[in-house]
């Protein structure tokens, strides 16, 4: 469990990036921070591994205040995946994945063995182990990034817009892959994105942020979509327009759903065939 208690962050230039933020992030679930750029979501994420230190307030991981933990040691037990993968371009795939175990003093052979297993886990061909990141596609690089984040089997995985820079098809693939991984591994994932669809797809808990990291609404995707807390949220999630604003139209006794643009979204049935929607 990660707990933010009245956290504020004022940067040296005077901007108040985070204004009195409190939140509990449950273990083994995916929490998504979503908001426009500059809302402070990345700052929040980076406070968890002390890439950024709070100006006031307390941040606890399983009851332990992070300010009491040496940053370098703290970071080595928290997985971190970022946009553009952040892979070390001068290290091969296998060395990249083995980075943190090696920093922790794991012998090279053992670290490499574990790295190869992780390549299987994230769906990378082991034949790529000796390649350099520049020899991989964007999607493959992100997979390596995820494997690296998982290398020390951390309880917490921080993901900062990890799929922001890949094309939509690969992004959809990686999102499904992350859902699968999360079902298998059950990490405490904190995910940052500006894409509400991605937030709704991946998040058990979705936190919609306004400027200054003020929480506009927090809840499951269903709760947010069913009861947007404000006009801002309704507009941000698109509940009032487009393909999320569905209306019922009767056609020959059957009821079909039409979105706000007049496009046919589907047919209304009494009960979903399968409880696939979580």
Residues that bind another protein (CB under 8 A): 49, 51, 72-76, 80, 82-91, 99-100, 103, 123-125, 127-128, 131-132, 134-137, 139-140, 143, 148, 158, 169-170, 173, 177
Q: How far is the CB of 75 from another protein (least distance, A)?
A: 4
Cα–Cα distance for residue pair 112/72, rounded to 1 Å: 22
> In the complex with another protein, which residue's Cβ is closer, 27 or 73?
73
Q: How far is the CB of 221 from another protein (least distance, A)?
A: 26
Distances in whole angstroms, Cα of residue 150 to Cα of each of 55, 155, 224, 229, 236: 30, 9, 30, 35, 32
> In the complex with another protein, which residue's Cβ is closer, 1 or 103?
103
Q: How far is the CB of 268 from another protein (least distance, A)?
A: 33
Distance of CA 264 to the CA centre of its chain: 31
Distance of CA 155 to the CA centre of its chain: 14
Q: How far is the CB of 23 from another protein (least distance, A)?
A: 21
Terminal Cα-to-Cα distance of the chain (whole angstroms): 22
With H, G, I as helix, E, B as strand and everything else as coil, classify residue 70. Answer: coil
> In the complex with another protein, which residue's Cβ is closer, 66 or 87?
87
Q: Are residues 81 and 159 in contact, defined by beta-carbon separation less than 8 angstroms? A: yes
> In the complex with another protein, which residue's Cβ is closer, 167 or 240?
167
> In the complex with another protein, which residue's Cβ is closer, 127 or 269?
127
């Amino acid at each position: 469990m990660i707990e933010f208690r009245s956290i504020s962050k004022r940067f040296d230039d005077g901007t108040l990036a985070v204004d009195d933020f409190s939140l509990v992030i449950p273990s083994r679930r995916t929490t998504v921070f979503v908001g426009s750029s500059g809302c402070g979501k990345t700052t929040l994420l980076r406070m968890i591994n002390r890439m950024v230190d709070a100006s006031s307030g307390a941040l606890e991981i399983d009851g332990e205040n992070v300010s009491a933990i040496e940053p370098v040691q703290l970071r080595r037990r928290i997985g971190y995946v970022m946009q553009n993968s952040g892979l070390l371009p001068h290290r091969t795939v296998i060395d990249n994945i083995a980075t943190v175990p090696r920093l922790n003093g794991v012998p090279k052979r053992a670290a490499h063995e574990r790295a190869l297993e992780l390549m299987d886990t994230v769906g990378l061909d082991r034949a790529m182990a000796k390649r350099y990141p520049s020899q991989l596609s964007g999607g493959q690089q992100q997979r390596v990034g995820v494997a690296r984040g998982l290398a020390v089997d951390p309880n917490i995985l921080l993901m900062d817009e990890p799929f922001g820079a890949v094309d939509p098809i690969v992004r959809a693939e990686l999102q499904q892959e992350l859902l699968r991984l999360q079902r298998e591994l059950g990490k405490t994932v904190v995910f940052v994105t500006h894409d509400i669809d991605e937030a709704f797809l991946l998040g058990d808990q979705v936190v919609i942020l306004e400027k200054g990291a003020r929480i506009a609404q927090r809840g499951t995707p269903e709760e947010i979509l069913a009861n947007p807390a404000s006009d801002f949220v309704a507009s941000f999630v698109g509940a009032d327009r487009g393909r999320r604003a569905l209306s019922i139209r009767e056609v020959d006794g059957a009821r079909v759903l039409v979105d706000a643009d007049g496009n046919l979204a589907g047919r209304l049935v009494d009960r979903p065939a399968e409880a696939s929607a979580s």
